[in-house]
Structure 1
Amino acid sequence: MSWALQIPKADLADSSARHVLLCLANYASADGRGTFPSVNRLSEDTGLSERTVRYKLDLLREACWIVRGNQALAAVYIDQHDRRPVVYDLQLSRGANAAPRSKRGADFDAPGCNLQHTGVQISTERGADSAPKPPLNHQVTKEQLQGELAGVIAEQDQQVLDSADDRQRFAMFAQWEPAAKAIADQLAIAGLPSDSLTDEVISGFKGFHVAKPSTVDSGAGWCFRLATWIKRERVKTACVGIQAGAPGYDDEDTSWINGGAN
């Protein structure tokens, strides 16, 4: 995100497009790759309409601030093709510090030269060349920053993959597996033993929801639904007189959660 914040206003004057780019950078890995928040998510983050967000994304692509990335990354988490957002890569090479100006430039050697550059008058210096001053709020060069981040890029990428499921809402699919920590937390909150999560229970849960593609949720949300499913099945098994197919039986009834079942 720091890269997007340092883009000169003259290079990206559209404030709304800059806001969208900042949000994209917030979801990107350390090297700017693999950002794929949905248009709806960008709309919520920026406060812009979805139509405006799409227009600003087109503007950023035309200006080469972003390019299409590896679309397979979104496919890892979202099984339905028509629900996958576009994966973008940020063009971090844009906006880098320009190379120091040559002292032998024609303007510099012109007679009576009195150029102003960022508020500093340029004049011929005597003695050894002075070291170039780093720009404000950016005390290291792009190359130095990339060197410092080289050892953690792989870890950052993995964090993107691990967290993407929590950010993206998707319909249930056959290959889905609950995240270990998320489902363990939900089981503990529901007061369920860890051994209540079996392959048979997961298969039944997935089979029920795969048939309902209109239902979408985040990875954490699906873990909550799974814990609720397990608790409901245990309560129904323990309750005498409530059997599948009996009058009044509702497979989706969750009123028991609030004490509706006795």
Structure 2
Amino acid sequence: MTWALAIPKAALENPAARHVLLCLANYAGSDGRGAFPSAGTLSEDTGLSERTVRVKLDELEKAGWITEGNQAIAAAYIDRRDRRPVVYDLQLKRGASAAPRKERGADNRTGCSSQQNGVQENAERGAAAAPNPSVNHQGTEEQPPRNLSEVIEGQDCQALESQTDLQRFAMFAEWNPPVDKVTAQLILAGLVVEALTEESFKSFLGYYVAKPKIFDSDGGWCFRLAKWLKSEKAKAAAEVEQGESKSDWAAKGVRL
């Protein structure tokens, strides 16, 4: 996000596009890669409509601020292709500030100008250039993009998991709730794990699959599932109580 904040206003004048870029950068890794929030998530973050968000993403891509990244990252977390958002990489070099150029006649060692009107300091930003010490000089060449297996097995695995925790999506029939999250929500709701039956789970899925405009994260859906089960339990208890009440009246010869 620091990179996006540092972009000069003259380089990106459209305030809506700048806002979308700022929010998108919040989901990228430290190297600017792997941002895949949905249009709905960016809509909530920016306050813009989903249609406007998509238009601004297209504008940012055409202007060279973002490019499509490794789509396999989103596929690793979202099975359904029609539910996967586009993975974007930020073009960090696009917004980098250029170092000042040396004027003609400047001394290569001191950075001072040899003009007659005095000494003018004109050293370039960074250390002075030095000859290559050896073939094995690390950190000076741009590293190639990492593939998905390296990302998952490497130190960025935790960052990707935290990104997925924030990823919002509409409910789909193949959704499997994370065991740790749903167990925690059931305990907080005062329910036992056995309360989650196959029948109740299918009922929950059927209800929310029919409402594609509702988006939530994995944790949010687990919270909704626990709330659903608690409500179903309360309804069942009320029906039992009502049935017992009718039986008592019937025993007394009263027709209801």
Note if 1:160 corresponds to 2:163: yes
The separation in 2 between residues aligned to 1:122 and 1:77, in whole angstroms, is 62
Secondary structure class of the residue paired with 1:240: helix
User: If the length of structure 1 is used for normalisation, what is the TM-score?
Assistant: 0.62
Equivalence for 2:188: 189
CA contact (8 A) 2:43 2:50 kept: yes
Q: Match for residue 60 of structure 1?
A: 60
- Asked if the contact 1:78/1:170 (under 8 Å) is kept, the reply is no
Larger Rg: 2
Q: Is 1:227 matched up with 2:226?
A: yes
In the other structure, the counterpart of 2:250 is none
- Matched residue type, 1:220: G
Q: Would you say 1:44 and 2:40 are equivalent positions?
A: no
Post-superposition Cα deviations, 1:150-184, rounded to whole Å, max 9, x if no partner, equal: 985343223213332xxx1312222x222344323
Write out aligned runs for 1:138-149 (5 A). none
Deviations 1:240-262 (A, max 9, x none): 3779xxxxxxxxxxxxxxxxxxx
Q: Report the residue type matching 1:228 in the other structure.
A: K
Displacement of 1:65 after TM fit? 0.8
| % identical equivalent positions | 46
Distance 1:201 1:6 in 2: 53
Equivalent positions of 1:113-262 (< 5 A) are 123=120, 132=126, 152-164=155-167, 168-174=168-174, 176-197=175-196, 200=198, 204-205=202-203, 208-209=206-207, 212=210, 214=212, 216-218=214-216, 219-235=218-234, 237-238=236-237, 239-240=239-240
- Segments of 5+ residues of structure 2 without an aligned counterpart are 108-112, 128-138, 143-150, 244-256
Shift of 1:40: 3.5
Shift of residue 13, structure 1, vs aligned partner: 3.0
1:93 corresponds to which residue? 93
- Residue 78 of structure 2 is matched in structure 1 by 77
Counterparts in 2 of 1:201 and 1:33: CA distance versus 1, 3 Å: farther
2:20 aligns to what? Answer: 20
Matching residue within 104, 107, 124 for 1:106: 104
- Write the distance in 1 (CA, Å) between the matches of 2:49 and 2:228: 36
Decide whether the 8 Å contact of 1:17 with 1:60 is kept in 2: yes
- In the alignment, is the contact (CA less than 8 A) between 1:236 and 1:242 conserved in 2? no
Determine the C-alpha separation between the residues in 2 that align with 1:173 and 1:113.
78
Is 1:24–1:37's contact at 8 Å kept on the other side of the alignment? yes
CA RMSD, Structure 1 to Structure 2 (Å): 4.0
Instruction: Output the CA distance in 1 between the equivalents of 2:124 and 2:206.
Output: 71
> What are the ranges of 5 or more consecutive residues in structure 1 without an aligned counterpart?
115-120, 134-142, 244-262
State whether structure 2 residue 6 is matched by structure 1 residue 6. yes
Q: 1:2 to 1:113 in 2, by over 3 A?
A: farther
